[in-house]
Amino acid sequence: MAGRMQDKVVIVTGAGSSGEGWSNGKAAAALYAREGAKVFAVDYRIEAARDTQRVIESEGGQCVAFRADVSSASDIEDMVEACIAKYERIDVLHNNVGIVETGGPVETSEASWDRVIAVNQTSVFLTCKHVIPHMLAHRSGSIVNIASIAAVRWLGFPYLAYSAAKAAMVAMTSNMAVQYAASGIRANCVLPGFMNTPLIREPLAKTYGGNVDSMIEQRDKLTPSGKMGDAWDTAYAALYLASDESRYVTGTTLVVDGGLTARCA
Ligand SMILES: NC(=O)c1ccc[n+]([C@@H]2O[C@H](COP(=O)([O-])OP(=O)(O)OC[C@H]3O[C@@H](n4cnc5c(N)ncnc54)[C@H](O)[C@@H]3O)[C@@H](O)[C@H]2O)c1
């Protein structure tokens, strides 16, 4: 099935991985490239983006690594300018960056709240603000936002700022979908459930009592399918939403959670 993204220019933010293995962004970047896309892999740790570039190039794909902090407006302007200078257009904006900090209103410091909102939510405003004019110029584009089921459910621990930012992503996605529907630009969200990616190891293991193996066991058990998902489950959902196969799909959320949100008891 190669070629589902043939010659499309795709920006993936957070295209590196915060540890060993496949993150959601790294897997999506690799999958887009396998399907023929020209990938602009963005991360604030340039080495992480370069690692993704190396993987893609070793498979014969096309990728450029770029350093940007998605919470910085000037970095995002530079990112868009550099992508246009290299590839002359942007077909897909894949907003993948997300950080997790736990706590409810009492435990969350103002600094933590501001950081999580800036990195998870304001970043989406900034990337869309600077990318959409280029999509409008071609009257075509697909925005794929990686939110979380934390936008719609309690996940066993308080994630106030994270949940608020992810819920805002869902709202921003449907808002933009309607505004730009007649201009050929689509916007959709993926809502991953419990995924076994490098992100969960450090910040979440603490929440689950400090033991990574026990955290994985607990998260597997909570999922009706009996196992957490992984980065490829998120990436394949994103691939569908990014590609022309979903040309009549906009303003929606695609839940990828092994049945977790469907369960009541
Ligand atoms: N892993 C899960 O269980 C899960 C569940 C639901 C949603 N998600 C979402 O999936 C997305 C990716 O998660 P992951 O598990 O692959 O994470 P990850 O931490 O492995 O990868 C994220 C990448 O983003 C980069 N990054 C972080 N802050 C950045 C910034 N300010 N600017 C640029 N790059 C930055 C990191 O360096 C890292 O390479 C996040 O939005 C996360 O909320 C993950």
How many structural domains is the chain composed of? 1
Task: With respect to residue 211, please indicate whether it lies within any of the assigned structural domains.
Answer: no
The one-letter amino acid code at 242 reads: A
| Residue 260 three-state SS | coil
How close is the Cα of 176 to the center of ligand 1, in Å? 22
Pick the catalytic residue from 32, 162, 180, 248.
162
Residue 52, SS3 per DSSP? helix
Sheet-wide strand order for 38-43:
62-67, 38-43, 9-13, 92-95, 141-146, 185-192, 253-256
Residue-by-residue DSSP string for 236-260: HHHHHHHSGGGTT--S-EEEESTTT
The verdict on residue 70 lying in a domain is: yes
Residue at 4 is within a domain? no
- Mark whether 208 is an active-site residue: no
Burial annotation 112-133 (CB, 10 A radius, 16+ → b, else e): bbeebbbbbbbbbebbbebbbe
- Residue 190 domain boundaries: 9-196+231-254
pLDDT digits (tens), the chain, 265 positions: 479 999 999 999 999 998 889 999 999 999 999 999 999 999 999 999 999 999 999 999 999 999 999 999 999 999 999 999 999 999 999 999 999 999 999 999 999 999 999 999 999 999 999 999 999 999 999 999 999 999 999 999 999 999 999 999 999 999 999 999 999 999 999 999 999 998 887 767 777 877 888 889 999 999 999 999 999 999 999 999 999 999 999 999 999 999 999 998 8
Residue 47: count of CB within 10 angstroms of its CB: 10
Structure token pair of residue 127: 């990337």
Could you tell me where the DSSP H helices lie in the chain? 24-34, 46-58, 73-87, 110-117, 123-138, 160-180, 201-207, 212-222, 231-242
The rounded Å distance from CA 151 to ligand 1 centre is: 15
265 inside domain = no
Nearest-angstrom CA–CA distance, 233 and 196: 10
Atom number, ligand 1, closest to the C-alpha of residue 200: 1
Provide the residue count of the chain.
265
Strands, E assignment, the chain: 9-13, 38-43, 62-67, 92-95, 141-146, 185-192, 253-256
In a domain, residue 237? The reply is: yes
pLDDT at 205: 74
Ligand 1, pocket residues at CB < 6 Å: 13-14, 16-18, 23-25, 43-45, 48, 69-71, 96-99, 119, 146, 148, 192, 194-195, 197-200, 231
Tokens of 221: 């058990």
Nearest CA to ligand 1 atom 2: 195
> What is the H or E stretch that residue 244 is in?
none
Residue 187 located in a structural domain = yes
- Is 220 among the domain residues? no
Residue 172 belongs to a domain with what CATH number?
Answer: 3.40.50.720
Give pLDDT, residue 1. Answer: 47
For residue 226, is it within any domain?
no
